Amino acid sequence: MKVALFITCLADQFFAEAGVAAVRLLRHLGCTVEFPEGQTCCGQPAYNAGYWAEARQVAEHTLGVLERADYVVLPSGSCTTMLRTFYPELFREQPRRFAQAEALSQKTYELAEFIVKVLGVSHLGQGLKGRRIAYHHGCHALRELGIKQEPLTLLRNAGAEIVDWAAAEECCGFGGLFSVKLPEVALSMADRKLSTLPPTSQIDFLTSADGGCMLHLSGRIENRGLGLPVRPLASVLWEAAQ
Amino acid sequence: MKVAANQYPQEAARVLREEPQVRESVTGATLNFDSKRRQAYAEVDAETWRHWAESVKNHVLSNLDRYLLEAEASLQKNGVQVHWAEDADDARRIVADIARAGQVRKVVKAKTMVSEELAINPMLEGMGVEVLETDLGEYIIQLLQQPPSHIVGPAIHLNLAQIRQLFHERFQTPPDASPEHLAAVARQLLREGFLKADMGISGGNFVVAETGTLALIENEGNIRLSTSAPRIHVALVGIEKLLPRFTDLAVFLSLTARAATGQRLGTFVSLIQGPRQPGEPDGPEEVHVVFVDNGRSSVLADPEAWETLRCLRCAACLNACPVYRQTGGHAYGYVYSGPIGAILSPGLLGLEETKPLPYASSLCGACFQACPVRIPIPKLLLTWRNRAVQEGLSPRLEAAAIKGYALAMTQPWAYRLASKALRLLPEKALDNTVVPVIKAWTEGRAGLKPSPKSFRQMWEDGEV
């Protein structure tokens, strides 16, 4: 199966290992991985800040870059939502572009979702035996796309224990520009979320599919000296397959 | 009411810094409300209810002129006097005229957000009329001369210690009085108020067009007393609060109670069908319904924002919102706070006065998931943000930065260049900088550390 990887700008710049792990994992599962080199960012920063004309420019670029792909896979729930849900929204008034966006929407998947739903794989291996993991659900993946069980299934089936976390489904406070427009509120949200974790000595690491959430949470964790490693889901899933 | 919505970012930060107990009180109470709502939704086929409620409200809003006329006729047939208020001035004048004609000296009030919106209390007090809030939370914030912090729980931002202190100062209760004791003291004071009042003012959860029925949901019994004990009852009702038929009420009453407090039904539901009839032992001699527009028809005429008017004022979106939870409602600067306030206030007041509100959200989507009438709040937040940009209300520096961003992201060479530049920056530049966006990021968060090599570079170098 031929898969085009859309690495997302945050993963490209800050979590390059997530991209590497995604490629290795997809190849391991029998996919041919392509990296369409014209890709940049999905346009979400402009879209969320209300700059829809600029978001359309970026989206048009991405539509062109991914036009010939059979499947598009992203190591991010938020950017997946941008391509799958918000691109068609952006082009509602432009029939030709809308059709293109709809076509892209149909073939776009978040990594864990793709593995479970399209490849039909729910056992990657036993590489996470004994690992205690805190899983942060990115809001877009969870509430816009309804991706909840897929990553948890893959982690659990690889032997990991998902720790009980009262606020696992609560927003971490990143929200793109939200975290710099309202920094105090954003940090307070991260603190509230982190304060509901079991003692960090009982957790090996925190993982999430979203680069933005990870930057925000890991930045806060480090700042507060909580000593909890934060790892991209793609890297953890690759470890699961070992 | 005075609007201070343009101060939202500063106010939110100030509340977090200076009143940390607000966050604690609001978080505890909203989590509790939210978990009760989930349990109450789980008992019913919530999705079907939500879709049905959405469609009934859409139908009403699409035929509002017809239903308002039908409601007026039904109410009049029941002996209710119907008034129309185009704006807050109109509404205040109508209430003042009724009070004057009835020689009203004392008013008891049931909790009504519309009266906050219309600033009814200061107007009445200006006329020399004594106004008593009879909802316990409203009574507490009236003593403190504060606006409500939450649509359903107006004193949600206060903790027990603060209320003990307040009652100790005002009513000489023991400094460690139990909540039951405090409630009993308030109850005694309010009882006297009900008996002496000439007029009772309420809002209205629903008005049924078919039968002219005013429906009110509550838990304390004060609404029932406020609307039945005094000679005159005035209900202030937003024009969007109509339901077509009496049979629609059953689900809407339960849906509202479940969404608001996780109850199957409020402890008290009053269905008011007009003034006291000959031979009836109690009830008011006059009942007035004031239908209030005050910006609602312009929201209705807005091809995107009109869905906001489905709102039942249940506050489920506030309870589900992790942003609201940090500061409570006062930071939002207007009577309607939280996610619904962030889309309703710009609709009622315009963006000029409210422009930070649509940004008071991380777009996590919990509000839409909680909304009993499926108002697409995240989508509407984005719509208002887009309008702010189109109307040139967004910061100039931000607009320029986004234009630059769009240019870089549509030219792969420019993206590569930016990626290289990011890695050439000294570590300090990303940590201890004066560049506004990065500075806002690094205050409270460890600095950004790019991967040594971007994924793209690794791919191009054949390392993947």
pLDDT in tens, B292-304: 999 999 999 999 9
Dist. CA B313–CA B310, nearest whole Å:
9
Is pLDDT at B248 greater than 90 in this prediction? Answer: yes
8 Å CB contact of A49 and B389: yes
User: Is A175 in Cβ contact with B361 (below 8 Å)?
Assistant: yes
* End-to-end Cα, chain A, rounded Å: 21
Report CA torsion sign: B265, B296, B330, B389: positive
**What residues in B contact A183, CB-CB < 8 Å?**
440-441, 443-444
Helix A52-65 / helix B396-410 crossing angle, nearest 10 deg: 10
Q: What pLDDT, in 10s, does the model give residues B390-410?
A: 999 999 999 999 999 999 999
* Count of residues in chain A: 242
Amino acid symbol at B443 = E
Do β-strands A2-5 and A71-74 pair in parallel, antiparallel, or remain unpaired?
Answer: parallel
Q: How far apart are CA A58 and CA B383, in angstroms?
A: 19
CB-CB contact of B360 with B367 (8 Å): no
Lowest-pLDDT range of B1-10, B143-152, B344-353: B1-10
Predicted confidence (pLDDT) at residue B312 exceeds the cutoff of 90: yes
> How is chain A classified by DSSP, letter by letter?
-EEEE---HHHHHH-HHHHHHHHHHHHHTTPEEE--TT----SHHHHHTT-HHHHHHHHHHHHHHTTT-SEEEES-HHHHHIIIIIHHHHTTT-HHHHHHHHHHHHTEEEHHHIIIIIS------STTTT-EEEEEPPHIIIIIS---HHHHHHHHHTT-EEPP-TTTTS--S-TTTHHHHSHHHHHHHHHHHHHTSPPGGG-SEEEES-HHHHHHHHHHHHHTT----EEEHHHHHHHHT-
Contacts of B281 (CB under 8 A, 6+ apart): none
The residue-averaged pLDDT of B106-118 equals 97
Facing residue for B406 by CB, picked from A18, A54, A175: A54
pTM over the 0.90 mark: yes
CA distance B383 to B375: 13
Q: How confident is the model at residue B374 (pLDDT cuts 50, 70, 90)?
A: very high
Q: Could you tell me how many residues make up chain B?
A: 464
Mean pLDDT calculated for residue range B79-86: 98
Mean pLDDT of chain B: 96
Mean pLDDT in residue range B61-77: 98
Is residue B432 over pLDDT 90?
no
**A192, A218 contact by CB (below 8 A):** no
CB contact under 8 A, B464 and A144: no
C-alpha closest to that of B401 among A17, A120, A51:
A51
Q: What is the pLDDT of residue B398?
A: 92
Q: Is the pLDDT of residue B138 over 90?
A: yes
Assess B359–A contact: CB distance below 8 Å, yes or no. Answer: yes
Identify the band that residue B441 occupies on the pLDDT scale cut at 50, 70 and 90.
confident
Give the number of other Cβ atoms within 10 Å of residue B310's Cβ. Answer: 20
Kindly indicate the confidence band of residue B268, based on its pLDDT and cuts at 50, 70 and 90: very high
Query: Residue A13 and residue B16: Cβ atoms within 8 Å?
Result: no
A173 and B464 within 8 Å at the Cβ level: the answer is no
- According to the model, what pLDDT value does residue A88 have? 98
CA distance B142 to B149: 12
Check whether B448 has a pLDDT greater than 90. Answer: no
Answer whether A138's CB lies under 8 Å from A209's CB. yes
- What angle separates helix B136-143 from helix B160-171, to the nearest 10 degrees? 70
B440 touches chain A (CB under 8 A): yes
Report in angstroms the alpha-carbon separations of B289 from B213, B238, B255, B453: 11, 10, 24, 69
Q: Is the pLDDT of residue A121 over 90?
A: yes
Q: Give how far B131 is from chain A: nearest CA, Å.
A: 36
CA distance B170 to chain A (A): 34
CA of B33 vs chain A CAs: smallest distance (Å)? 15
Q: Do A45 and B440 touch (CB under 8 A)?
A: no
* Separation in Å, CA of A116 to nearest CA in chain B: 23
Spatial CB neighbours of B307, under 8 Å, sequence gap ≥ 6 = B58, B375, B376, B380
CB-based contacts of B414, cutoff 8 Å, min separation 6? B407, B408
Residue with tokens 């309010």: B190
Query: Pick from A16, A40, A49: which is nearest to B455 by CB?
Result: A16
pLDDT value of residue B1: 64
Task: Give burial (CB, 10 Å; 0-12/13-18/19+) of A75.
Answer: buried
Predicted local distance difference test score (pLDDT) of residue B437 = 76
Bridge partners of B108, per DSSP, are B132, B200
Of the candidates B110, B48, B81, the residue with the CA atom closest to the CA atom of residue B372 = B48
Q: For chain B, what is the largest distance between any 2 Cα atoms, rounded to a whole number of angstroms?
A: 94
Residue with tokens 């507490």: B140
8 Å CB contact between B154 and B111: yes
Contact B449 A58 (CB under 8 A): no
- At A134-180, the pLDDT tens digits run 999 999 999 999 999 999 999 999 999 999 999 999 999 999 999 99
Q: What is the pLDDT of residue B172?
A: 96
Contact A144, A44 (CB under 8 A): no
User: Quick one: DSSP state of residue B311?
Assistant: -
Q: Is the pLDDT of residue A100 over 80?
A: yes
How many Å apart are CA B367 and CA B379, to the nearest integer?
Answer: 11
The answer to whether B461 faces chain A, any CB pair under 8 Å, is no
Q: Hey, which residues 102-131 in chain B have their CB within 8 Å of chain A?
A: none
Chain B residues close to A184, C-beta within 8 Å: 12-13, 16-17, 444
B133 vs B245: CA distance, rounded Å: 31
Interval A13-47: pLDDT, tens: 999 999 999 999 999 999 999 999 999 999 999 99
Q: Which of residues 339-358 of B touch A (CB under 8 A)?
A: 358
Closest Cβ opposite residue A170 in set B322, B379, B385:
B322
Question: For B462, which residue in chain A has the nearest alpha carbon?
Answer: A20
Question: Chain B contacts of A10, Cβ < 8 Å?
Answer: none
Residues 391-410 of B with CB under 8 A from A: 394, 398-399, 402-403, 405-406, 408-410
pLDDT (0 to 100) of residue B431: 67
Query: Coil, helix or strand for B199?
Result: strand
Strand-pairing partners, residue B208, are B213, B243
Q: Which of the four pLDDT bands, split at 50, 70 and 90, describes residue B429?
A: low
The string of pLDDT tens digits covering residues A53-99 is 999 999 999 999 999 999 999 999 999 999 999 999 999 999 999 99
Q: Does B7 touch chain A (CB under 8 A)?
A: no
Single-letter residue type at A10? L
pLDDT value at position B434?
64
**Cβ–Cβ gap B398/A49 under 8 Å:** yes
Flag if B360 and A182 touch (Cβ within 8 Å). Answer: yes
pLDDT-derived band of residue B440, with 50, 70 and 90 as boundaries?
A: confident
pLDDT of residue B428: 67
Mean per-residue pLDDT for B448-460?
A: 94
Specify whether the CB–CB gap between B256 and B217 falls below 8 A: yes
